[in-house]
Structure 1
Amino acid sequence: MADTIWAGPRWRRMGAALGLGALAALGQAPVGFAPATLVALALILWLMRGAPRWPAAAWFGWCAGTGYFLVALHWIVEPFLVDVARDGWMAPFALVFMAGGLALFWALAFGLSARRGPLLLGLALVLAEYLRSVVMTGFPWVLLGHIWIGTSVGQLASLFGAHGLTAITVLLACVPSLWPGRGSVRAAAGLAAAALVWGAATAWDATLPEIAPPADAPIVRLVQPNAPQDEKWQPGKAEMFFRRQLAFTAEGPRPDLTVWPETSVPYWLDQADAALELVTEASRGAPVVVGIQRRDWPRLYNSLLVLGETGGVADRYDKAHLVPFGEYIPFGGLLARFGIHGLAANEGGGYTPGPGGRTVDIAGIGPALPLICYEGIFAEEIGAVAPRPRFMLLITNDAWFGQVAGPYQHLAQARLRAIEQGLPMVRVANTGISAMIDARGRLVEIIPMGEAGWRDVALPPALPPTLYAHTGDGPVIWVLLAAFALNLLLARRKAIEPRQPVA
């Protein structure tokens, strides 16, 4: 089969690569069908055995990656459809260029490992996924290892992180190509390997003790206003959504902490004194976390405020890791002349990054690690914060991501951060999905997508620091690099070995 497809017309193998890449994307949220990813990757690796030269292999890898990212990241057009008249023209270009650009990392992996066996290609692909998570501010979204979030295999992230899960995924897909014998035997070997990993992870997961909050655990109120992005900043609607959050804050028994989502206060901080007084009054003396924009002219910030028990700003955090082309535009002033603006920010160039890397103190509860939206996808940055927080506190406005795939993928990554660090996470989103996540990434409580409401939830306890919390990605990446270098050396030696003459 592999030789046949490479001997046929180019469109056939490019179509196969695109189709298999698209199939691989079905392992990501919200579909979450991990077998589709494993089967698609196994077929991609099998077909690569027939690649004649590195340019053809790189092109095949690029097509497979493009198919994968087109399907997995199709929601990326949603932000451009909020203001169709201004930004709609950019939507198809954004999707095509993002998918094709991210696929270049796959092309690099496939080109470097052409004709050198499936194991080398698998290692190269894992390293390529790592590279795209760090190069040019990084984009570790829909990593191949994310297909395991919500399963027992996903709990292994507490040991190896997301890139360790990616390595497990790709190496399992390599098994059919590495196993000797007929196609049916190879397929059976791949199935057996996947079953073995799944069974071992499930058995280990079953031995982990349950996480139950103590009787005196702090009660946290999640407030979800459900403000559609195209209405969020309309003068009349913005006040309505603000009043809705005030009402949710004032209802029911007084919690120990109330959390509002990103940019939930519709005023600049320097003009928000009266609004913040209303928030403090509604909270009945409990601390409240809100999202707000602030300006220190000419700098603009996307900020999180902790309002104290007696009123006033007790602590503040400015978002440090901004979304490229969303919250800031390189050379924004110049590009604004051509109609290209940051989607989530104003003034052409958008927001200024804050210093990051710190906790905020929540009275009566302890230190929390503040994260605003996009910051929750960067595992290494979260693990670098010291001292260790009591919990992670993520506020976001996922209305930008639509309601199909983006918010579910964003939530999945929040669950992974909790597993990696052994810390619970309070996650509050404007339109959903708000959630209380325990230290093993399990959803304790949620407010569903598109629902306005509030939930009072006991804060789960933290676990001791995990192995990954101590080591980060370093050990896994160094092992992968060493394995790749060793396999590359062996492949080159094999290629130059003189053939024995045939008698």
Structure 2
Amino acid sequence: MTKIIMKNTSLSIVAGILLSISLPNFYIPFAFIIGFFILFQLTAENSYKYTLFYSFITGFSFALFSYYWIIKAINYYGGVNIFVSILLLILFSFFYSILYFVSFSLILKGFINRFGLIAIFLAPFLWVLIEISREYFPYSGFPWNLAGYMISYMHPIENLASYIGIYGLSFIVILISSLIFYSIKRKNIIYFALAVIIFIVPYTFFSFYKKSFYGKSYKIAILQGNIEEDIKQNDKKYSDYILNVYLNLFKKAVKQNPDLIILPESAVPFFYFSESEIKDKFFKEIKPYKIPFLIGLDNFMYIDDKLYLFNSLFLFDENHNLVDFYNKIKLVPFGEYTPFPFKLFSSLFPYLEGYDFKSGERMNILNYKDFKFIPLICFEAIFPNFVSDFAKKGNIIVNVSNDAWFGKTSAPFQHFEMARIRAVETGRFLIRATNTGISAVILPDGTVEKKLPLFKRDILIADVKLLSENTFWIKYKNILFILFIILFIGYISFLIKRSS
């Protein structure tokens, strides 16, 4: 018995690793099939007690390997003690596994016990329902590393996201895994063939499908300053250095005569609504250049005589007058605020300096001439429903970020892939301006038109177009969800009738 437990525990660890390496920046093709096969087998063949244990180990392993960069972010750049950082990753992985993997496996186990192995085809429905809940819970949500990203990097397949979103790709990932699992367990090649067809048909179709994007082209310039996070955290000491980096890049970009310049999140250390020498110098230096620009800035504002801190994106016209600004709505828990009930431990996070950012309240489009900017600040680009709702009235996405926190880990690649798929889902050009990379211009079919690699100080010049037509996903995602629920209930009804 002990040997079986040890063997299954080892298999659970392997399953978590295989699922993890299916994601950026590893991209091991179809490793997820083996990972889910192991998870399904351990779920189907063990008691509830051992299903709970093995699924927990799988989820814990997955979280450790997928989110190891949390240690780098909060220890090296956030100043949190290394032992506390490791403990926080362990706690994160513990709750992550319980909320997602254990809940999934226990519910699936109940269905399999009730209806037999054919209930494995409820797995795609259960998994996607849990993923959708991740957009809203816990706190403001954390839909990072959804299963759909295990195949989204395959260029023809990614185009499916404009019809069924990343959640639809997740459904395909779990459905293919379920079909192959059932095929092997029942020794029936038909299910294996069906799994192959489900992948090959859209892959083949979109391989020959070429979408054209019509309309006027606009030249944009992205500034990637590559300012190390420890310097940004000490911006009072290095404020002149940071300012000069971006001023030099701004002047370099001007020579290309762009229609718009974009600077990343929290690019320069000043508050627009407060007077400072840094602010005055910045606007004085760029005064001769009659080019509109977008810039990410921290933003102090008084509301009802109370001072609040926001993470904002500001839009200025060619005369550098403020046109409008957007306050970030989706804040990063433990990154931009300490959520309840962890306020007591806020001293563990010195980078917050004792204060929290406040969430914005309006999904406001930033309008300038023909541009209707959909502003996404950092973390916000990972939320599929949030972005698709936001995009309805805009014609181009601007995602500003500071991924310096992640260092040389897989996190910048994971973050980039999630932002890239938002371009496909919405059918919009996406401009991504980051401090340390990956900055890029992404076409509505997911093609990376141009990009700047990690840790390179440079400008990126590219052409974009303004597109207002909404994708099938934007138009009908609510109807798709209703159909999804109907199919889910319908299959359960079929199983009930079949077993009676």
When normalised by structure 1's length, the TM-score is: 0.88
1:317 partnered with 2:354: no
1:325 and 1:450, CA in 2 relative to 1: closer, same or farther beyond 3 A? same
How far has the Cα of 1:155 moved from its partner?
A: 1.1
Aligned to 1:500: none
Contact 1:14/1:60 (8 A) holds in 2: yes
Aligned to 1:217: 217
How far has the Cα of 1:156 moved from its partner?
A: 0.7
The AA in structure 1 aligned to 2:242 is F
1:43 and 1:9, CA in 2 relative to 1: closer, same or farther beyond 3 A? closer
1:25 and 1:276, CA in 2 relative to 1: closer, same or farther beyond 3 A? same
Aligned to 1:31, which of 26, 30, 38? Answer: 26
Which secondary structure does the structure 1 equivalent of 2:433 belong to?
strand
Aligned to 1:3: none
1:128 partnered with 2:130: yes
- Cα separation, 1, equivalents of 2:417 and 2:130: 21
1:244 and 1:84, CA in 2 relative to 1: closer, same or farther beyond 3 A? closer
Aligned to 2:228: 228
The AA in structure 2 aligned to 1:129 is E
Provide Cα deviations, 1:447-488, integer angstroms capped at 9, x if missing partner: 10010000111014537311101123x344444434444444
How far has the Cα of 1:109 moved from its partner?
A: 1.5
Which secondary structure does the structure 2 equivalent of 1:384 belong to?
helix
Contact 2:402/2:435 (8 A) holds in 1: yes
How far has the Cα of 1:97 moved from its partner?
A: 1.7
Which secondary structure does the structure 2 equivalent of 1:77 belong to?
helix
1:382 partnered with 2:387: yes
The AA in structure 2 aligned to 1:330 is P
The AA in structure 1 aligned to 2:97 is A
- Cα separation, 2, equivalents of 1:195 and 1:178: 14
Alignment of 1:399-410 (within 5 A): 399-410=404-415
Which secondary structure does the structure 2 equivalent of 1:82 belong to?
helix
How far has the Cα of 1:341 moved from its partner?
A: 3.0
Aligned to 1:198: 199
- Cα separation, 1, equivalents of 2:281 and 2:377: 21
Contact 1:211/1:460 (8 A) holds in 2: no
Alignment of 1:14-29 (within 5 A): 14-29=9-24
Which secondary structure does the structure 1 equivalent of 2:373 belong to?
strand
The AA in structure 2 aligned to 1:459 is V
Aligned to 1:281, which of 254, 270, 287? Answer: 287
The AA in structure 2 aligned to 1:143 is L
Aligned to 1:48, which of 43, 50, 61? Answer: 43
Structure 2 runs not aligned, ≥5 long: none
1:50 and 1:490, CA in 2 relative to 1: closer, same or farther beyond 3 A? farther
The AA in structure 2 aligned to 1:426 is I
Provide Cα deviations, 1:359-384, integer angstroms capped at 9, x if missing partner: 00134x41110110011111111222
1:119 partnered with 2:127: no
Larger CA deviation: 83-92 vs 302-311:
83-92
How far has the Cα of 1:135 moved from its partner?
A: 1.7
How far has the Cα of 1:315 moved from its partner?
A: 1.2
How far has the Cα of 1:395 moved from its partner?
A: 0.4
Provide Cα deviations, 1:366-408, integer angstroms capped at 9, x if missing partner: 1110110011111111222375211001100011122221111
1:341 and 1:101, CA in 2 relative to 1: closer, same or farther beyond 3 A? same
Alignment of 1:23-422 (within 5 A): 23-52=18-47, 54-83=48-77, 85-104=79-98, 105-114=100-109, 115=113, 116-117=116-117, 118-136=120-138, 137-151=140-154, 152-179=156-183, 190=192, 192-211=193-212, 216-234=216-234, 235-251=236-252, 252-269=255-272, 270-272=274-276, 273-278=279-284, 280-281=286-287, 284-296=289-301, 297-330=306-339, 334-335=343-344, 339-341=347-349, 343=351, 345-348=352-355, 350-363=356-369, 365-385=370-390, 388-422=393-427
1:452 and 1:209, CA in 2 relative to 1: closer, same or farther beyond 3 A? same
Which secondary structure does the structure 1 equivalent of 2:325 belong to?
strand
Identity of aligned residues (%): 21
The AA in structure 2 aligned to 1:176 is I
The AA in structure 2 aligned to 1:74 is Y
Provide Cα deviations, 1:265-312, integer angstroms capped at 9, x if missing partner: 111221354044146426x11101111112125211111111221122
Contact 2:128/2:167 (8 A) holds in 1: yes
How far has the Cα of 1:419 moved from its partner?
A: 0.5
Provide Cα deviations, 1:143-188, integer angstroms capped at 9, x if missing partner: 01111223211211111111111110001001123227776x66x9
Contact 2:16/2:61 (8 A) holds in 1: yes
- Cα separation, 2, equivalents of 1:84 and 1:267: 20
1:173 and 1:181, CA in 2 relative to 1: closer, same or farther beyond 3 A? closer
Aligned residues: 480
Contact 1:175/1:189 (8 A) holds in 2: yes
Which secondary structure does the structure 2 equivalent of 1:113 belong to?
helix
- Cα separation, 2, equivalents of 1:484 and 1:61: 23
- Cα separation, 2, equivalents of 1:57 and 1:167: 22
Which secondary structure does the structure 2 equivalent of 1:454 belong to?
strand
Aligned to 2:444, which of 423, 439, 464? Answer: 439
1:280 and 1:476, CA in 2 relative to 1: closer, same or farther beyond 3 A? same
1:189 and 1:332, CA in 2 relative to 1: closer, same or farther beyond 3 A? closer
Larger CA deviation: 313-322 vs 39-48:
39-48
Larger CA deviation: 367-376 vs 352-361:
352-361
1:10 partnered with 2:12: no
- Cα separation, 1, equivalents of 2:317 and 2:408: 34
The AA in structure 1 aligned to 2:217 is A
When normalised by structure 2's length, the TM-score is: 0.89
Contact 1:262/1:429 (8 A) holds in 2: yes
1:479 and 1:96, CA in 2 relative to 1: closer, same or farther beyond 3 A? farther
- Cα separation, 1, equivalents of 2:172 and 2:453: 31
